[in-house]
Every structure is written in C-alpha cells, then in structure tokens.
Amino acid sequence: MDKPIVIIGAGISGLSTAYFLKKQNIVLEAKPYVGGLCHSFYDNGFTFDCSGHFIHIRDKKILSLVKKLSGGVDEINRSSSILFKNTLVPFPFQANLYYLDAKTKKECIDGILKRKNVDICPRMPFIDWAEAMFGKGITKHFMRPYNEKLWSYDLKKMNAQWTGAFVPKPNAQEIIESAKTKNKTVYGYNNVFYYPKRNGCQALIDGISKKIKPLLNEATQKIDIKNKVVWTGGGKYKYSKLISTQPIVELLKQISPLPKNVQTAAQKLKFSSVRCINIGIKTKSGVPKILKGSHWIYVPQADISFYRVGIYSNVNPAMAPKKSYSLYVEISSSNGKYKRAQEVINDLQKLNFISQNDEIAAVNIVDIAYAYVIFDKDKDEALKTINEFLRANEIYSIGRYGAWEYSFIEKNILDAKALAETINRE
Ligand SMILES: Cc1cc2nc3c(=O)[nH]c(=O)nc-3n(C[C@H](O)[C@H](O)[C@H](O)COP(=O)(O)OP(=O)(O)OC[C@H]3O[C@@H](n4cnc5c(N)ncnc54)[C@H](O)[C@@H]3O)c2cc1C
C-alpha cells in the first residue's frame, strides 16, 4: 500500500489541505482540539476566539465554501478606530486627520508637506518608510507608538514589507483633504468581513473538519527525512510527502540530520508573541458608551498595556449572554512576559472600556507564542535556504507560521488548496 501524506497541524491550513487532497492522508494535531488559532472557547455562556478572528474574503468561490461550511455567516461592515487623546479617530488614522486637535493636525500636515523626496521601498526600515510615506507628524503620533506596541520590536531593524494590504496608503492630497472634511472613502482589506452566526470561528473549523479525522494529542517530535518517518510521543508514521503547518522553526528542530546552513538560517527567523485576554462582562447599564457600535479599537497610548481591544458581542450578539458584553484584549511581547490580567482590567476601566459597576463573569487567557513574524533584512534569504532544503526532501511548510508570513484565513485556505491540487495532479 502507498504511504500516506502526513499533515502536521489541524489549524485552518492543515484542515484545508486535507479537505482538498484526493490522496490518502493523516492529520496529526498536538492539541486535544482542532482549529489552531481559529479555535473558539466557550466559558460561562460566552464564546471567545483566539482574539478577533474575522473572515475577510475576496475570492468568491472560497467565500461560498466558507459560508456553507460555517453554517451561515453575517456580512459585516467594519467599524474600527484609534483611541487618540480620548477621541475615537476612524481607521485609518492617516486618512482621518479631521478628528485630531488643532496642534496634532498641524504637525501631521506639516509632516506631509515637508517629506523628503526619496524613493519609497518596502525594504526600507519601517520608520524611514513611514516618514517617507506619511511624514513625521503621522509617524510620531500613530505609526511609531502603535507599531512599537504591536510588534514589540525595534522598528529601525524591521522593514516595511509586511505593510502590503495591511496599511492603507492614501496619497498626500487625500491626507491633507482629510484634515478639512470628514473622509467618506473606505480603506483597507477588511472593510467588509464575515463571521459565523453561531459558535465563533470554530463554526468554520467544525464544518471543514467534519469529514477529516485528525489524530489529536499527537505532537510530532522527530522526523527522519532519509526514511520518511515521523514520530510523535506514542506513534510512528511513514509518509510519502510531509506537509507541516507548525511554525517552521519548530519543524526544523524535529528534523535530523539538519544541515549546518539550514540551522544557521533558522536562527535568523524572529517573531513576537501575543497574549489575548478574553473577558466576559455582566452589565445592568449596557455596553459602555465609548464601545457602542465598535468592532475593534487600536490603542497607541504607551501607558496602556494593550495595543488593541475588540468587542466580540458587537460583531455578533450571540457571542455573549443577555445583559452582557465581551471583549478581547491583545498584548504583544518579545520575551513571553506580560502584565497580569488584573492590571489589564484596570487599564480597561481607566479608559471606560469596562464600567466600574459591571461584573467580570469570565476571563480566558490565550497565549500565542508565535503571533507575528518579524520582517527584517535576514528573513527572505534565510527562508530561501530553508525552503530549498525542505523541498529537496518532499516537505512542504505552509500556513501563517509554516510559510513564515503575515497571512490570514483566506490566504491560508487558498495556499492549502493550491498545494493539494498540485499534489492531486502528480
Ligand atoms: C492576534 C491575531 C489575530 C488574528 N486575527 C485574524 C483575523 O481577524 N482574520 C484572519 O483571517 N486571520 C487572523 N489572524 C491570522 C490567523 O490566525 C492565521 O492566519 C491562521 O489561523 C493560521 O492558521 P494555520 O493553520 O496556518 O496555523 P495555526 O492556526 O497556528 O495551526 C497550526 C496547528 O499546528 C498544530 N501544531 C503545532 N505544532 C505541532 C506538532 N509538533 N505536531 C502536531 N501539531 C502541531 C497547532 O496546535 C495548530 O493546531 C490573526 C492572527 C493573530 C496572531
């Protein structure tokens, strides 16, 4: 009998690969549950994701598949903003200067007018790119403080390759106009997004995994590339091809023998971690005024522990019981150390994101060790060396951390589909 294809990981990438593959395969999942970062947790009547997992999709075929697998989704027009000096400035900051105080507005416009005439290139250090793109004022007031919090990394050592679809780039004229009147233009890749009607992001995972039977609690530990064998704590699996969706640096630690140049390349890949604190709140007075209608709010303020807060129950009221609301809070770290949940709740109360009289009914903490891949001068070259080695050994490393990229659910499904179809044709 032919050896099966072994897929490591039952997140959206691993499950999608199995879904589209027409050849015999086995999915090994380290955790006792499926979904990876698309898993949802249920606690005291609240549904929580691993922080907001909202599905933005451009591909029509993938959209109809996601609708079918999720058992119905809502189509939602994004409502997001930046908390700046107690004011909510609509997203993106750089196209909504109208909402700023006069002094900040002037600094932002002066910055745009006095930009240096340089060739803008995504390989520039992020801060230089932001100043060249948006000027010193917008960089000082938003781009620098927000991104320092998000990435927990020296912005001078990071480049701007990740900004692609994620950072809207209005031109100078639009930025200046946005200071005079309220900007009606809609920006960004996720201005419309989709979300399952029931059970959070897990609804999509449950739909896709129905016909796939991943083996749970099966963390791969060792991979013999010569004999094409994977070992978990209790099992041994021979494979014809190996598709891994675990972080590529973890995959390489399991492979033996690993050439020295690949080991050196792996050490060059950097990342930051995120703690997501999910909070369910009982209230007599309703969702706090400042959060009404918002899906998420960016918080660049340095003395506040988190960089973003989302309001699950505003995205879908089914996420919280009656007379309740629910939030996710994201905190980034370069060393896995975070503020305690109580300090985060204090910060939320300080900003009036939780009213003093409301009762905390559920707290659920999700630590995401690999959250954001760092884009620096070493990344592309290191990945090239690693992928050449993996391909030569019929190993495909895909997904957000397998491919070591800044991707999202739609891209993960599309990449998994493309790989499965290539293998189906062989
Ligand atoms: C804070 C944050 C917010 C996000 N918000 C959104 C959003 O709103 N919309 C969106 O589209 N995307 C969002 N994303 C991105 C999204 O989470 C990912 O693109 C997607 O979940 C990646 O899926 P994956 O299957 O590639 O990886 P993962 O979800 O990480 O799955 C990998 C799987 O492999 C398993 N695994 C690891 N090691 C082993 C091992 N040794 N053996 C067996 N199994 C193993 C893991 O347990 C996991 O189940 C967000 C990401 C973050 C960090």
What residue's CA is closest to ligand 1, atom 27? 11
Ligand 1 atom nearest 407 alpha carbon: 19
| Sign of CA pseudo-dihedral 149, 154, 160, 164 | negative
Q: Backbone dihedral region of 119: left (phi > 0), alpha (psi from -120 to 50 degrees) or beta? A: beta
For ligand 1, the distance from its centroid to the CA atom of residue 409, given in whole angstroms, is: 9
Please report where in the chains the tokens 């493309």 appear, as a residue.
418
- Position 313 scores a pLDDT of 98
> Which domains can be identified in the chain, with CATH numbers?
5-29+214-269+376-425 (3.50.50.60), 80-180 (1.10.3110)
* Residue 277 exposed, middle or buried by CB count within 10 Å (0-12, 13-18, 19+): buried
- Residue 77 has a pLDDT of 97
Point out the ligand 1 atom lying closest to the alpha carbon of residue 400: 26
Q: Which two tokens stand for residue 282?
A: 């009982």
Cα separation, 266 vs 268, in Å, equals 5
Closest CA to 206 of 15, 30, 65: 15
pLDDT at 189: 87
Q: How far is the CA of 37 from the centre of ligand 1 (A)?
A: 4
Helix, strand, coil shares, percent, the chain, to 5: 35, 25, 40
- Please give the pLDDT value at position 85: 96
Residues framing ligand 1 (Cβ under 6 A):
8-14, 28-31, 36-38, 51-55, 219-220, 245-246, 250, 274, 330, 368, 371, 399-401, 407-409, 412
Q: Give the Cα separation of 216 and 362 in Å (integer).
A: 27
Determine the pLDDT at residue 256. Answer: 85
> DSSP character for 189?
T
DSSP per residue, 162-182: GGTTTS----HHHHHHHHHS-
Cα radius of gyration (the chain): 22
Shortest CA distance to 28 belongs to which of 239, 255, 200? 239
Helix extents (H) in 247-403: 248-254, 260-267, 312-315, 341-350, 379-392
Give the pLDDT of the chain (426 residues) as one tens digit per residue.
Answer: 689 999 999 999 999 999 999 999 999 999 999 999 999 999 999 999 999 999 999 999 999 999 999 999 999 999 999 999 999 999 999 999 999 999 999 999 999 999 988 899 999 999 999 999 999 999 999 999 999 999 999 999 999 999 999 999 999 999 999 999 999 999 998 999 999 999 999 999 999 999 899 999 999 999 999 999 999 998 999 999 999 999 999 999 999 889 999 999 999 999 999 999 999 999 999 999 999 999 999 999 999 999 999 999 999 999 999 999 999 999 999 988 998 889 999 999 999 999 999 999 999 999 999 999 999 999 999 999 999 999 999 999 999 999 999 999 999 999 999 999 999 999
- pLDDT of 410: 98
Please identify, by atom number, the ligand 1 atom nearest to the C-alpha of residue 56. Answer: 11
Number of H helices, E strands in the chain: 13, 19
Give the H/E segment covering residue 5: strand 5-8
Report how far ligand 1's centroid is from the alpha carbon of 111 (Å).
Answer: 38
The DSSP bridge pattern shows strands 296-298 and 80-84 to be parallel
**Looking at residue 1, what is its pLDDT?**
60
Is the pTM higher than 0.95? The answer reads yes
